[in-house]
Amino acid sequence: MKLKDFSVFIMCLIGFSALSQNTVSGIVTNARTQQPVADVDVYDKVSGLLTRTDASGLYEFTTTKSNLTLVFFSYEFEAKELQLKVSSSTTLNVSIDELGIALTEVEVTARKTKVFELSRLKDVEGTSIFAGKKTEVVLVEQSMANLASNNARQIYSQVAGLNIYQNDDAGLQLNVGGRGLDPNRTANFNTRQNGYDISADVLGYPESYYTPAAEGLSEIQIIRGAASLQYGTQFGGLINFKMKSPNPNKPFELITRNTLGSFGLYTNFTSISGTKNKWSYYTFFNYKKGDGFRPNSEFESKNVYAHIGYQFNENTSLTGELSYMRYLAQQGGGLTDQMFDNDPYQSNRSRNWFQVDWLLYNLKFEHKFTENTNFSFNAFGLNASRYALGFRTNRVDQIDPMTERDLIKGDFKNYGFEARVLSKYEVFDKASTFLLGTKFYRANNAEQQGPGSDGIGPDFGMKSERYPNYANQSNFDFPNLNVAVFGENIFYATDQFSITPGFRFEYIKTQSEGFYKRINTDAAGNVIFEESVEDNRDFERSFVLLGLGLSYKPNTAFEVYGNLSQNYRSVTYSDININNPAFAVNPNITDEKGFTTDVGIRGNFKNLVSYDLGVFGLFYNGRIGFVQKGLPDGRVISERGNVGDAVLYGVESLFDFNLKKVLELNNEFSLNYFINSSFIHSEYTASEQSNVKGNQVEFVPDVNIKTGLKFGYRNFMANVQYTYLSQQFTDATNSQSANISGIIGEIPSYDIMDVSLSYAYKRFKLETGINNILDNAYFTRRATGYPGPGIIPSAPRNWYMTLQIKI
């Protein structure tokens, strides 16, 4: 869309006026000590969570209602319920009493969820606008998933339509897709931690090798639809990992969790946190090791996170964060279909290794200029590396000849900042909310490929002098620059109907500077041809993306929402310049463009059922994927490139039933049943490739269902979850039979059942469970590179047991 068209679009929307809103604020204090209490949840008894007190005990929210029933809740205090008559600016200071008795875990959960259904993100939070968007929040602290191994199938069980690779060791990497997006390392989402980027390179290499420890998370925010306007251009939207906050009411708190499990699994998670005067801190150390469920699959991981904050006053705060993760994993390699049928847990690769070093740093400044204007500034950076070493060949059933191994070294250095200002103002005496932000991002990454050692262990030194005739040799630098300006505004056409237009201007400059070698040898290994080829590329572009969100709320318990957003995904030069024997890359590969749209209803009905039911559409121009391509010499290869235009549409739903209320059980019990389903149709509508038009799009199971039952009695909790995904394709030609590399072919339908139990006693908590209790042999991934190539099997039946101690 041209800038001129965009200006006309915005001017037309400014004609909508906004509904006047009332502001409610106050300070919550400890009735005994008169000290402010932080992290007190403030609920509307009808609609749910409104806000939460900050470190100074201050809370504030806006509402269009004239009468409210407010509830103030904190785990360590008595809940307090108050009736309030609201005027244009209402102040309500509240004192709450400390608990005199220790509650069971179920009683605490019941106190928090008895009246209130968990809500999605509010229209406005901090310096972000979510009105009209499809938002989902995973409350990790309330999850009964296997957190020690980051079991994504369980953690994201109530997020509709996600397709997850289930092959990694103890959750070292997250592989999430959905709506036809390749799940590989969550590359089609913008992944963030506490609001800042954590992937290798947002534009040039948007893969997430680092995943925060689930035991250190408070929630996971997933924003789809028009999320591109505030968080980037990706088709998938945003996944933001929100880490746990410092304990606001204690100077010191220690939590330690130790886990044992199948296949030699051991993990330790130990955190300390607290608040003293204006200072606060939260830090943890997470250690993981195991043998893996296949031969040649051992791993060891160390993860450190530190957060420190200083509250200058009730309006100004400064926080700093540091995250470091290092892990080394042996990789058993991929399988062909025949190998998987013979023994899905075999391995014929004993010398393949993968090592990641990930250092993230962030400094965040937040300031409230006035009651109506907030400002935030995030400065962040990454210094990381990813080394992959091993024997990989197009024939994955070939026995390793124990010669030199292929080594790929990636070094990632980037930094940037994001500034946002959010202001509530009046247009024609009506309230409105405006967001304006900017982002600067610079990366200088390097990729080198060449011969590694001929040994067995993880020696990541390049051996070019020792093996000068090695075929796959290259050395590239990838300097990238990105500058973006974005904005959104909530307008109210009526009391119930809001319109939120938005824009994002992007300037992107991606470069590739380096060379690769062409080396041909005869049958005896003698060099008959050698040359170094310079391959320098410059790709500069700028464009505007537009979006529009709509929301209709006839009451606080029901909403109709819709949005439309343009999307864009840059081609990654780092993929192009890596020589992979399993596939070729079309030299004319270029960026993907398109747009997404959502329409749905969500809310709760008398606290009996919480629901989100919607339809979506996703439209691609020049979708990147794989095709089977015949060569003049009769060979058939897999080629990665722009396959064609595609359309995907479907229905996604989540229903969560509060059976405790239906059965009128007392507070000693909790009982919930949920069903999360997705039904998708996909089709390539145009393609210059043969045998593609009319085919289904890759990574799209027609049926995707997750359902479960959660039961609690006093300190005991139990959870059963069932997952089913129908068959899906991995290439645009919809190949059902596999090739010799195992990277092309269908992924058959599969189903898994998981069982989890927990029991709490005073400061102790015991968690245990069995994943894949039916012991089904299945796979969710055909890897094109490491950890393959080929089929990567998923884990068989396995158990875990966690002991938590809180001091």
pLDDT digits (tens, 9 = 90+) for 472-531: 899 999 999 999 999 999 998 887 899 999 999 999 998 889 998 888 877 777 788 888
C-alpha to C-alpha distance for 502 and 485, rounded to whole angstroms: 11
pLDDT score of 392: 85
pLDDT score of 15: 38
Which residues have CB under 8 Å from 568's CB, separation 6+?
228, 233, 506, 543, 545, 591, 592, 593, 594
- The H-or-E segment that residue 501 falls in is strand 497-521
C-alpha to C-alpha distance for 471 and 419, rounded to whole angstroms: 46
C-alpha to C-alpha distance for 113 and 607, rounded to whole angstroms: 9
pLDDT > 90 in the chain, percent: 60
What band does 48 get if pLDDT is binned at 50, 70 and 90? low
Amino acid at residue number 714: R
Higher pLDDT, 458 or 205: 458
C-alpha to C-alpha distance for 572 and 589, rounded to whole angstroms: 10
* Nearest C-alpha neighbor of 154 from the set 139, 166, 144, 163: 144
What is the phi/psi pair of residue 112, to 5°?
-85, -25
How do residues 416-432 score in pLDDT, each as one tens digit? 999 999 998 887 777 78
Give the three-state DSSP class for 633. coil
How do residues 211-241 score in pLDDT, each as one tens digit? 999 999 999 999 986 555 888 888 888 999 9
pLDDT score of 226: 53
How do residues 259-288 score in pLDDT, each as one tens digit? 999 999 999 999 999 999 999 999 999 999
How do residues 315-349 score in pLDDT, each as one tens digit? 999 999 999 999 999 999 999 999 999 999 999 99
CA distances (Å), origin 624, targets 57, 217, 581, 589, 698: 50, 33, 19, 8, 10
What is the phi/psi pair of residue 43, to 5°?
-110, 145
Amino acid at residue number 75: Y
Higher pLDDT, 606 or 143: 143
How do residues 155-164 score in pLDDT, each as one tens digit? 999 998 899 9
Own/partner contacts of 457-465, CB < 8 Å, gap of 24 or more, are 457/353, 458/328, 458/330, 458/353, 458/355, 458/389, 459/389, 460/353, 460/355, 460/387, 460/389, 460/407, 460/409, 462/407, 462/409, 463/404, 463/407
pLDDT score of 117: 35
pLDDT > 70 in the chain, percent: 91
Query: Does 90 score more than 70 pLDDT?
Result: yes
CA distances (Å), origin 274, targets 39, 128, 206, 250, 257: 13, 27, 34, 5, 18
pLDDT score of 781: 94
Query: Does 128 score more than 50 pLDDT?
Result: yes
pLDDT score of 114: 41
Among 98-107, 388-397, 571-580, name the one with the lowest average pLDDT.
Answer: 98-107
Query: Does 104 score more than 60 pLDDT?
Result: no
Query: Does 1 score more than 60 pLDDT?
Result: no
pLDDT score of 580: 63
Query: Does 12 score more than 60 pLDDT?
Result: no
Please give the span between the terminal C-alpha atoms of the chain, in angstroms, as a whole number: 57
What band does 579 get if pLDDT is binned at 50, 70 and 90? low
SS3 content of the chain, % helix, strand, coil (to 5): 5, 55, 35
C-alpha to C-alpha distance for 396 and 740, rounded to whole angstroms: 7
How do residues 288-297 score in pLDDT, each as one tens digit? 999 999 999 9
| Domains, the chain | 22-100 (2.60.40.1120), 241-806 (2.40.170.20)
pLDDT score of 420: 97
Among 60-74, 347-361, 501-515, name the one with the lowest average pLDDT.
Answer: 60-74
Task: For residue 530, give both structure tokens.
Answer: 């050698």
Cβ atoms of 702 and 679 closer than 8 Å: yes
- Per the listing, tokens 């982002």 go with 439
Task: For residue 773, give both structure tokens.
Answer: 């209790």
What is the overall mean pLDDT for the chain? 88
C-alpha to C-alpha distance for 46 and 269, rounded to whole angstroms: 38
Radius of gyration of the chain (CA): 27
CA distances (Å), origin 701, targets 36, 184, 297: 51, 16, 29
Task: For residue 527, give both structure tokens.
Answer: 């060099």
What band does 205 get if pLDDT is binned at 50, 70 and 90? confident
- In this structure, the strands spanning 22-30 and 94-96 are parallel
Read off the pTM: 0.87
Cβ atoms of 663 and 671 closer than 8 Å: yes
pLDDT score of 131: 87
Query: Does 568 score more than 80 pLDDT?
Result: yes
Query: Does 603 score more than 50 pLDDT?
Result: yes
Query: Does 459 score more than 80 pLDDT?
Result: yes
pLDDT score of 169: 78
* Nearest C-alpha neighbor of 111 from the set 676, 668, 616: 668
How do residues 613-658 score in pLDDT, each as one tens digit? 999 999 999 998 878 776 666 556 678 889 999 999 999 999 999 9
Question: Would the CA dihedral through 488, 489, 490, 494 be positive or negative?
Answer: negative
* Nearest C-alpha neighbor of 18 from the set 562, 370, 425, 548: 425
What band does 65 get if pLDDT is binned at 50, 70 and 90? confident
Size of the chain in residues: 807
Largest CA distance in the chain: 90
